[in-house]
Amino acid sequence: MNHHHPLASRMTSVLATGQRPSRLQRRGRYTPESMRHPGKMLPAIAATVINAFTHPGDLVIDPMCGIGTTLIEAIHLDRDAAGMEYEPHFVHLTLDNVRHAHHQGATGRAQLISGDARNIAVVYGVLRGRAALVLTSPPYGARTHGHIRSGRDNGGGKVIKRHHRYSADRGNLAHQPLTGLLEGFGRILAGSATLLRPGGVVAVTIRPIRIKGELTDLPGRIIETAQRHGLTLVGRHAALLAGLRDGGLVNRASFFQMLETRRARDRGIPACAIAHEDLLVFQPTLGLEEARR
């Protein structure tokens, strides 16, 4: 648990963020087109983190905002939000979601820029020193995302994987090999940290992945990367993707995740379906923060 931040005492090590399936968390709150995005953050994760680390009126930033989950949950909670997203079609989906949220009575203001967040410190230079929270999630391998239609719901046909790729452009970090992704994400974290106000935090959600069957400690790699870019880990939580009911977990893993897990076990790899994301909380490394001012 994070003992450095006054609001973080409200956070437990395990966060019950999967009580409702993702589809139900979004229903009526996000446009149906938003479901096209291959790797969205659970709205309950965004809302929990925003509540824990910010107050109404504060500024929340997501440098890789996808269809805008961080922004939407922030403005519904009366925080202001700023986002960046590389893919123009996701920017449009975020704008639609912001409009929809305002129609539903969201009171926060949102701003959005389409572009490469490796330049966020310059692009959002006017927000330097203003954000209470940066909340984001890197794209980690288009292969691991997507929506699956199985024989169960397409009338017995073969498995079809849809919406599982971002554009082919290499500026989208989803297309970089792991080292390129980490290097780009490190620059985005460092740039975003310049927008933090004193006491502000950077929160990253991330889960371990298998690359060619090999379990990769992506959270560990993100922690190392953040440290190299002037951030210190001050909190680590498990944000549940599964539900909690009657003392047990309600599995919400997709058909594809279950299939992959079963295949791995058939090959003798002791895989389990992943039921949580790591939520990593960072603050600028002491000394570096002072040096910046």
Ligand X SMILES: C[S@@+](CC[C@H](N)C(=O)[O-])C[C@H]1O[C@@H](n2cnc3c(N)ncnc32)[C@H](O)[C@@H]1O
Only one residue has tokens 């106000």, namely 197
Per CB under 6 A, 61 contacts ligand X? no
Q: Looking at residues 71 to 100 of the shown chain, list those that interact with ligand X (rule: CB under 6 A).
A: 84-87, 90
Q: Judged by CB under 6 A, does residue 69 bind ligand X? A: yes
Pattern 199-218, ligand X, x by CB under 6 A: --------------------
Cβ proximity to ligand X, 66 vs 200, nearer residue? 66
CB of 72 to ligand X, least distance (A): 9
The DSSP line for 148-202 is EE-TTTTTT---EEES----S-TTSGGGS-HHHHHHHHHHHHHHHHTTEEEEEEE
User: Which span (7-15, 49-57, 60-68, 236-244) binds ligand X, by CB under 6 A?
Assistant: 60-68
Indicate the residue among 205 and 289 with the shorter CB distance to ligand X: 205
Q: Are 8 and 235 in contact (CB under 8 A)?
A: yes
Rounded CA separation 188/129 (Å): 16
* Binding positions for ligand X, 217-256, rule CB under 6 A: none
Does residue 282 touch ligand X according to CB under 6 A? no
Residue 166 binds to ligand X (criterion: CB under 6 A): yes
The encoded tokens of residue 100 equal 């929809």
Q: State the Cα–Cα distance between residues 287 and 181, nearest whole angstrom.
A: 27
State the nearest-atom distance from the C-beta of 175 to ligand X, in Å. 8
Interaction between residue 26 and ligand X (CB under 6 A): no
Half-sphere exposure for 132 (CA within 13 Å, toward CB): 20
Q: Do residues 59 and 79 make contact, with C-beta atoms less than 8 angstroms apart? A: yes
User: By CB under 6 A, which span of 36-44, 208-216, 238-246, 269-277 interacts with ligand X?
Assistant: 36-44
Contacts of 248 (CB under 8 A, 6+ apart): none
Q: How far is the CB of 90 from ligand X (least distance, A)?
A: 5
Structure tokens at 106: 């969201």
Q: Are 136 and 64 in contact (CB under 8 A)?
A: yes
If one asks whether residue 173 binds ligand X (CB under 6 A), the answer comes out as yes
Binding window for ligand X (CB under 6 A); candidates: 64-72, 102-110, 193-201, 233-241: 64-72
117 binds ligand X (CB under 6 A): yes
Residue 66 binds ligand X, judged by CB under 6 A: yes
Q: Which residue of this chain has its Cβ atom nearest to ligand X in the complex? A: 66
Residue labelled with tokens 């209470």? 132
Q: How far is the CB of 230 from ligand X (least distance, A)?
A: 19
Question: Binder to ligand X among 18, 83, 108, 139 (CB under 6 A)?
Answer: 139
Q: Which two tokens stand for residue 134?
A: 């940066």
Among 174, 206, 279, 281, binds ligand X (CB under 6 A): 174
Tokens representing residue 242 in the block: 């599964």
- Other C-beta atoms closer than 10 Å to the C-beta of 107 total 14
Closest CA relative to residue 71, chosen from 90, 42, 98, 41 = 98
Residue 112 binds to ligand X (criterion: CB under 6 A):
no
Footprint of ligand X (CB under 6 A): 37, 39-41, 64-67, 69, 84-87, 90, 116-118, 137, 139, 166, 171-174, 184
